[in-house]
Amino acid sequence: MNKLIVFTTITIICLIIIVPLSLVLLIKYIPSGIQPALKDTEKIYESFVLSQEFISIYDNLVGIGVSIKNPNYKNKKEVKLRIYDNEDRLVRTANLRGQNIADGEFVSIMFDPIIDSKEQRYIWSIESADSTMEDALEIFLTDQKPVWSLDFKVAGEKVNYGLSYVTFHKVNPGIVLNAIYSEWHRNFIDDRVFAIFYISIILIIVSSLGYISIYKKEI
Amino acid sequence: MFSILVRLSLVRLFLLAILLRLLLMPFYYHPDIKTYNFQSSFLKEGVSNIYTYLIEHNKELPIKEEFVYFPLTYLFWGSYQVIISPFLGNDFQSWVSDASAEAVNRVGTYRYLFLLKIPYLALDLMLPFLLINFFKSKKDKRDAFILWLFNPFSIFIIYIYSNTDIIPVVLSLASLLLFQKQRVILSGIFLGLAIGFKPYPVLFLPFLLLFLKDFKEFLKFTSFVMITILAILLPFFSKEFVNSALVSGLTTRIAYPNLNIGFGEALMVGVVSLSALFFTLFIMKNKQVEDSWHYLFLTLLLMFSSVHFHIQWLLWIAPFIVIYHIINRNNRKLIWIWLTLAFLIPLLYDDRSMTISLLSPISSLYKLLPTPFQILQKLYDPYLVQGILHSIIFGIAVVVSWISLRKFYE
């Protein structure tokens, strides 16, 4: 039974500390922020191209994350993402296929990093020339554009709303760890009453364990 | 019952067990805890029949799932929220109603998860005190006590996946204990209460009936089970209850997989297994009521091995695995292999909330990670791997059943 006690104790400690820390090493990029709330959708098919202008808020722009509707995987066609710089030069492309996009899925479309991307203007466009209106993928929109998200065009026509998306930026594990710790710390410490209560309970139990182990170990 | 804690070494272990659970409680999250708490929060607004309410108001509700549990789950969580409302604070209702993925990263999430898991902690710590009553020797009692407190599988299931299963598990274990002590009326009431939370203890009924001494006991037991169940279900009985709770989950899943035998008929593997087990007991002479737990254990073992299950359902069999481990010292490795493989299967489902998203209260960045399903997909067919694992556990279940039943017929 002693082996079980040690095994379970180590496992729980790993779950609390080692597993979250280890997984940090697997997180290669972070989003620009929280994805804006989803509203309606816009279809992409034939010549219907959606293009969204934005300012990259970090360096190492490496992807775009967007939510896509594809009921019953009905669309299986090719989808192209293009990134243009502020001089309308094509700087990156990425392809995906509708058959890999589940209905309502948040899709991360990744490409080679654009290193000095911070505070630069870009336009990303998404299209699916082989799709028809009947089997078109639908890209989710938002009416809560962040300040760095600029003009949005549907088939070349500017409209008031925008795409609901985030940008991804390649980072080193130190930055990821810092971001995760900051988030955890904010959520824990900002609920001050709970934080004090929780830490107190843990300390009481640890102290009791220590007291029993040291002073009552003959029993 | 509490005399086991007289020895301070066990007090120390009990405190360590509590500490380990407290460390997990605030920081791991499965969406089910929010869903059923959102649904149960309507009790304090005076909603009596949650099943019809959720269907009628589906369009305006932020979380649109049906209430798939039985009524006591609604009454329990709704009442509990009222009791702890001073500690939950003013923002709880907004948090529990927030359907967005960001809800779990709001300030207050750790407090809510901690408070909502306290009933699980209480019942989980109560369970070993019930378990020890299945054994006579002090050593066996001590081993069972420790084995439950430091069983990593039950800790994961209760505090990480945090579904409501520990409640019917404790109630049905209490019912079994009372049954073995031949207090059939109380046993029937507890079994009825367990069914009032989740329907799975219904599977135990046919087997328990075979251990009753005479028709008088049969009448007492079945009457009180039925009266309790009807008292719980009748006030909520409606078309919506039938569609949401009665025909969801296990009740339909036991019909699959099946073997087509033509003309619209199919042999249901789960029903075949359980029928074979039932009739094995039926023909047995000299049934000992102390062995009744064994048949309930084999019922769940065969059922899980033949249906697609949720990971939290494995909690139903966990106390029986502890009993089996203590009593069957020669063959117990098999059952732990079974449990380990059974535990792995749901981790390979194509469902982020089973693995990566469990860490989302710590940080939303963990959601960017691929799931084991997605990683495995790059190497092999994950569904095939699930099927292989499930087939292996079915094989183990057959062997364990054979070993167990052979003992009764020797």
Question: pLDDT by residue for chain B (410 residues), tens digit each?
Answer: 455 555 668 888 999 999 999 999 999 999 999 999 999 999 999 999 999 999 899 888 888 888 989 999 999 999 999 999 999 999 999 999 988 878 888 899 999 999 999 999 999 999 999 999 999 999 999 999 999 999 999 999 999 999 899 999 999 999 999 999 999 999 999 999 999 999 999 999 999 999 998 899 999 999 999 999 999 999 999 888 888 887 766 667 776 778 888 888 888 888 888 899 999 999 888 888 888 999 999 999 998 898 889 999 999 999 999 999 999 887 889 999 999 999 999 999 988 889 999 999 999 889 889 899 989 988 999 999 999 999 999 999 999 999 988 877 66
Mutate to test the interface with A, among B4, B5, B8, B12 (most CBs of A within 10 A): B12
| Residue A53 pLDDT level (bands cut at 50, 70, 90) | very high
CB count within 10 Å of CB B209 equals 14
CA distance B282 to B209: 10
How wide is the angle at C-alpha B69 spanned by C-alphas B393 and B64, nearest 5°? 110
- Extract the tokens encoding B158: 């209760």
Residue from B89, B116, B93, B90 nearest B103 by CA = B93
| Identity at B184, one-letter amino acid code | V
Rounded-to-5 percentages of helix, strand, coil across chain A: 30, 35, 30
Determine whether B248 is exposed, middle or buried from the number of CB atoms within 10 Å of its CB (0-12, 13-18, 19+). middle
What is this structure's pTM? Answer: 0.88
Pairing of the two strands A78-84 and A121-127 = antiparallel
Chain A residue nearest residue B363, CA to CA: A180
User: Which chain B residue's Cα is nearest to A219?
Assistant: B8
Tell me if A37 sits within 8 A of A142, measured CB to CB.
yes
Q: What is the predicted pLDDT for the residue at B8?
A: 61
Within 8 A of B361 by CB-CB distance, chain A residues are: 187
Distance CA B189, CA B211 (A): 17
| CB neighbours of residue B45 within 10 Å | 9
List, in sequence order, every residue forming a beta bridge with A142; answer none if it has no partner. A162
User: What pLDDT is attached to residue B28?
Assistant: 95
Dihedral sign, Cα of residue B294, residue B299, residue B305, residue B309: negative
Q: What is the pLDDT of residue B271?
A: 87
User: Which site among B21, B325, B362, B364 would you substitute to test the A interface, given the most A Cβ atoms closer than 10 Å to its Cβ?
Assistant: B362
pLDDT reported for residue B175: 97
Mean pLDDT of A139-165: 91
Which residue type sits at B187? S
Cα B267 from Cα B260, distance rounded (Å):
6
pLDDT at residue A216 is higher than 90: no
State both tokens at B145.
């006590």
The Cβ of residue B329 has, within 10 Å, a number of other Cβ atoms equal to 7
Mean pLDDT value of segment A209-217? 79
Residues in A closer than 8 angstroms to B364, CB to CB, are 34, 183
Spatial separation of the C-alpha atoms in residues A95 and A113, rounded to whole Å: 15
Contacts of range B57-60, beta carbons closer than 8 Å, 24 or more positions apart: none
Confirm or reject contact between A37 and chain B (CB < 8 A). Answer: yes
Alpha helices of B2-137 — where are they, by DSSP H? 8-24, 31-40, 50-56, 71-88, 92-97, 109-116, 118-131
**Structure confidence at residue B364 (pLDDT):** 87
Helix (H) or strand (E) holding B267: strand B265-268
Q: What is the structure's pLDDT at B249?
A: 64
CB contact under 8 A, A26 and B369: yes
pLDDT for residue A117 is more than 80: yes
Whether residue B19 and residue A15 make contact (CB cut-off 8 A), yes or no, is no
Q: How far is B107 from chain A (nearest CA, A)?
A: 5
Whether B15 sits inside 8 A of A209 (CB atoms) is yes
Reading the block at residue B259, the tokens are 């073997």
Structure tokens at B368: 């960017």
Cα distances (Å, whole numbers) of residue A20 to B28, B363, B405? 11, 9, 45
Beta-bridge mates of residue A122: A54
Would you tell me how many other CB atoms lie within 10 Å of the CB of residue B167? 21
The two tokens of residue B76 are 């329990």
Which residues fall within 8 angstroms of residue B56, CB to CB, at 6 or more apart?
none
Instruction: Name the residue facing B105 among A4, A27, A183 (closest C-beta).
Output: A183
